[in-house]
Amino acid sequence: MEAITIKDIAKALNLSTSTVSRALRNSYEINPETKRLVMEYAERMNYRPNPIALSLKDSKSKSIGVIIPEIANHFFSQLINGIESIAYNLGYHVVIFQSHDSYEREVANTNYLVSRKVDGLLVSLGSLTTNLDHFQELMEKGLPIVFLDRVPKEIETHKVVADNFAGSYEATAHLISTGKKRIAHLTSPIYLSITSERLAGYKKALEDFGLPFDEDYVKYCLYGGKMVAENEAAVEELLNMSEPPDAIFTASDRLTTGCLSVLNRRNIRIPEEIGIVGFTNISVAELLNPPLTAVVQPALDMGQQAVELLIRLIEHPQKTDVFETRSVKTSLIKRESSVGKQALEI
Amino acid sequence: MEAITIKDIAKALNLSTSTVSRALRNSYEINPETKRLVMEYAERMNYRPNPIALSLKDSKSKSIGVIIPEIANHFFSQLINGIESIAYNLGYHVVIFQSHDSYEREVANTNYLVSRKVDGLLVSLGSLTTNLDHFQELMEKGLPIVFLDRVPKEIETHKVVADNFAGSYEATAHLISTGKKRIAHLTSPIYLSITSERLAGYKKALEDFGLPFDEDYVKYCLYGGKMVAENEAAVEELLNMSEPPDAIFTASDRLTTGCLSVLNRRNIRIPEEIGIVGFTNISVAELLNPPLTAVVQPALDMGQQAVELLIRLIEHPQKTDVFETRSVKTSLIKRESSVGKQALEI
DNA sequence: ATGAAAGCGCTAACAA
DNA sequence: TTGTTAGCGCTTTCAT
């Protein structure tokens, strides 16, 4: 009842394993008749090559590893769907690992995937990762890596990111256009690429529209909102300022929902007292109270582009002289959290 | 720059590969001094055994496969987190595949995982799966499988499920307690285990509280809400009945949000006109408009229990004479979608 | 206590 | 065109 092997076929057909192998892989140096025989028998016995043996032989596996902070987040799960859709069609399997924003787990996952001989890696950095040696070494050994979303400056390779600067700029400009003057920014740790890019867009918009930039209005959450207490404390701090903000631009899902939840609890009217725009791919943004104005990232598309680049790197390693960083457009969906019901209906 | 192997160590130390192997795996028949030498060198060279070679040799991999409908759903991503937390500690790796509720993909994923020599499988059935041969065969070949959440009646093995009957009963009874008389049920395809269990709990509650059961108030969505049109059509049908329901009990995330979205669009007051309770693990239920009364499943716990059972099956295959089906309690979180703000605050 | 050799499933260089 | 052999990295008899 065990899986059938080439050896079994060879024995049954009185051939050598190499002949069977050749027949199966459609080699040219093979008697058509023999080939037919082998193919038929293999088909009948439902032969499937053992991918482990193949991996051992050629040190590759037709699979790509994905390391992301977490899957319980629509942005990342959409990313994965994009990745899978393409990889699947090109004959690659996708192995997913979560770092949970832990540097140690990121390293452990990386090592495991490498020992499992994945052909390439797709990585979105953990928010606590500052040391990149584990990736750097692999790249030097020739393992293709493509980063997406949270990318390192220091490593030269293909990268796919959202246009965080523009998205952020648009969000901030939008809040300004609704008459807000004191716009706070609730964001992730500063050393993440997305953080600084979003911060820059926010600053530029303030500047362009003649509003002062005030460092006190920017709150960095080390855990990106995953520690509820930290997240809520940041919001409370903002609210307790002598001149509290009249709008908050939040940089991620968790940050956004945490913020909403504090404001709701405090019965603060949104957007009248405080307007909200969030960088988020939450699927139910429309159903929130109030419906959330969101900067949405084309996660599916980002995932697809990233695998395409990765697979190109895997299959044509030599052909890559220049690495590209693709920046894909975000879109601002305006809803009541920034515009107010009446205004929207006009 | 390639990974170091036993052979390299043997060569460097002038030993045979078998001796090195013995030293590394702490065999008893080995000279302590030799062992020390080998260990030291291995440590220094950062030797890691090649898991692929090991898999090839003993047809196992210290990894378990997970097949679930989709990860972009909080219930399932929490399930995975539960699975990973335990598996990781017991030295197993977790390989995740999505079936996207496609029977073909479920079969393909299964085959792939098996060919990759996973030591066991954790499965939540796709909503379109009616034929179970692919799992049945594997079980007969001795591959441990544990089902969770969406489980098959026909296969005898460990299973972990939520107490769907009780959860459903509680939800329905709760709606009745708020004075609702015509409670509709929006649910998934009938041949899923969760569907019939939830339906049964719903029916029983109606019966116990003296309300008639009306088949017209039950709508099955073949795609479980993933086809927005189908989902919304079902809700519309309910609303257009001559005697429309005064409450809807929805059986899953998508069904719930789809329903909410139709009601909001139609400006139907919740819960005054229509009360809502959803079976859902949506993380932002509290922030929805209105905050959603939810039957929450202990997804993390379910995942943990399932892996534990699976790993026990893997490591002590003989010791299992009786298979157990664990049923874990859900909890009903009451919010405004069924109770109304005033009532809640009293 | 150690080494030589075989084998897990497959491919490829080399022979015939 | 087909067969023989070696080897991918590792473990495990079987000798020594």
- Residue A304 maps to a domain: yes
Give chain B as a 3 state SS string.
CCCCCHHHHHHHHCCCHHHHHHHHCCCCCCCHHHHHHHHHHHHHCCCCCCHHHHHHHHCCCCEEEEEECCCCCHHHHHHHHHHHHHHHHCCCEEEEEECCCCHHHHHHHHHHHHHCCCCEEEECCCCCCCCCHHHHHHHHCCCCEEEECCCCCCCCCCEEEECHHHHHHHHHHHHHHCCCCCEEEEECCCCCHHHHHHHHHHHHHHHHCCCCCCHHHEEECCCCCCCHHHHHHHHHHHHCCCCCCCEEEECCHHHHHHHHHHHHHCCCCCCCCCEEEEECCCCCHHHECCCCEEEECCHHHHHHHHHHHHHHHHHCCCCCCCCCEEEECCEEECCHHHHCHHHHHC
- Residue B56 maps to a domain: no
Q: How far is B270 from chain A (nearest CA, A)?
A: 13
C-beta atoms of B288 and A288 within 8 A: yes
Q: Which bases of chain C are contacted by protein, using any atom under 7 A from a CB? A: 1-13
Both B203 and B336 in one domain: the answer is yes
Question: If we measure between CA atoms, which residue out of A146, A149, A166, A129 comes closest to residue A73?
Answer: A149
Q: Which region among A37-41, A337-341, B158-162, B252-256 has the lowest average model confidence (pLDDT)?
A: A337-341
Cβ proximity of B39 and B24 under 8 Å: yes
Who among A77, A140, A282 is closest to B71 (CB)? A77
Number of residues assigned to chain B: 346
How far is B43 from B21, CA to CA, in rounded Å? 14
Pick the residue of A60, A64, A77 with the most B CBs within 10 A to test the interface with B by mutation. A77
Is residue B1 over pLDDT 60? no
* pLDDT (tens digit per residue) in A221-275: 988 777 888 888 999 999 999 999 999 999 999 999 999 999 999 999 999 999 9
- Residue B273 maps to a domain: yes
| Terminal alpha carbon distance of chain A | 70
Which residues, listed in sequence order, are joined to residue B96 by a DSSP beta bridge? B66
Both B220 and B286 in one domain: the answer is yes
How far is B100 from B128, CA to CA, in rounded Å? 10
- Residue A268 maps to a domain: yes
Both B128 and B192 in one domain: the answer is no
Chain A residue numbers with beta carbons less than 8 Å from the beta carbon of B282 are 284
Both A135 and A273 in one domain: the answer is no
Is residue A169 over pLDDT 90? yes
- Domain containing residue B322: 61-161+299-328
Looking at chain A, which residue has its C-alpha nearest residue B139?
A1
What's B45's domain CATH number?
1.10.260.40
CA of B18 to C1' of C4 (A): 9
User: β-pairing, B145-148 with B159-162?
Assistant: parallel
Both B23 and B170 in one domain: the answer is no
User: β-pairing, A325-328 with A159-162?
Assistant: parallel
Cβ proximity of B194 and B150 under 8 Å: yes
For residue A254, the SS3 value is helix
Longest dimension (CA), chain B: 89
Q: How far is B253 from chain A (nearest CA, A)?
A: 10
CA A35 to chain centre: 45
Both A272 and A311 in one domain: the answer is no
For residue A63, the SS3 value is strand
- Residue A226 maps to a domain: yes
- Residue B89 maps to a domain: yes
What's A284's domain CATH number?
3.40.50.2300
Both A73 and A199 in one domain: the answer is no
Q: For the residues B15-33, what does the mean pLDDT come to?
A: 89
Question: If we measure between CA atoms, which residue out of B148, B108, B107, B157 comes closest to residue B131?
Answer: B107
Q: For the residues B262-271, what does the mean pLDDT come to?
A: 95
How far is A105 from B315, CA to CA, in rounded Å? 25
Q: For the residues B284-300, what does the mean pLDDT come to?
A: 97
How buried is residue A18: exposed, middle or buried, by Cβ count under 10 Å (0-12/13-18/19+)? exposed
Q: For position A264, what pLDDT does the model report?
A: 94
Q: For position B174, what pLDDT does the model report?
A: 98
* pLDDT (tens digit per residue) in B112-146: 898 888 999 999 999 888 899 999 989 988 899 99
Mean pLDDT of chain B: 93
Q: What's the number of domains chain A is made of?
A: 3
Within 8 A by CB and 6+ apart from A141, the residues are B1, B2
Both A277 and A260 in one domain: the answer is yes
How far is A243 from A240, CA to CA, in rounded Å? 8
* pLDDT (tens digit per residue) in B68-87: 999 999 999 999 999 999 99
Both A139 and A168 in one domain: the answer is no
Which residues, listed in sequence order, are joined to residue B279 by a DSSP beta bridge? B295
- Residue A1 maps to a domain: no
Q: For position A345, what pLDDT does the model report?
A: 64
A9 touches strand D (CB under 7 A): no
Which residues, listed in sequence order, are joined to residue A94 by a DSSP beta bridge? A64
- Residue B1 maps to a domain: no
Q: For the residues B290-301, what does the mean pLDDT come to?
A: 97
Both B142 and B211 in one domain: the answer is no
Which residues, listed in sequence order, are joined to residue A219 by a DSSP beta bridge? A186
Q: For the residues B299-320, what does the mean pLDDT come to?
A: 92
Q: For the residues A193-205, what does the mean pLDDT come to?
A: 97
- Name the amino acid, one letter, at B25: R
Residues of A with CB under 8 A from a CB of B: 1-3, 48, 50-53, 55-56, 70-72, 74, 77-78, 80-81, 84, 93, 95-96, 98, 111-112, 115-117, 140-141, 257, 260-261, 264, 282-284, 286-291
Confidence band of A129 (pLDDT split at 50, 70, 90) = confident
Helix A6-13 with A17-24: angle, nearest 10 deg: 110
Q: For the residues B274-295, what does the mean pLDDT come to?
A: 96
Both A138 and A267 in one domain: the answer is no
Q: Which bases of chain D are contacted by protein, using any atom under 7 A from a CB? A: 1-13
Cβ proximity of B167 and B297 under 8 Å: yes
Locus of tokens 């690992």? A97
Helix (H) or strand (E) holding A122: strand A120-123
Both A118 and A190 in one domain: the answer is no
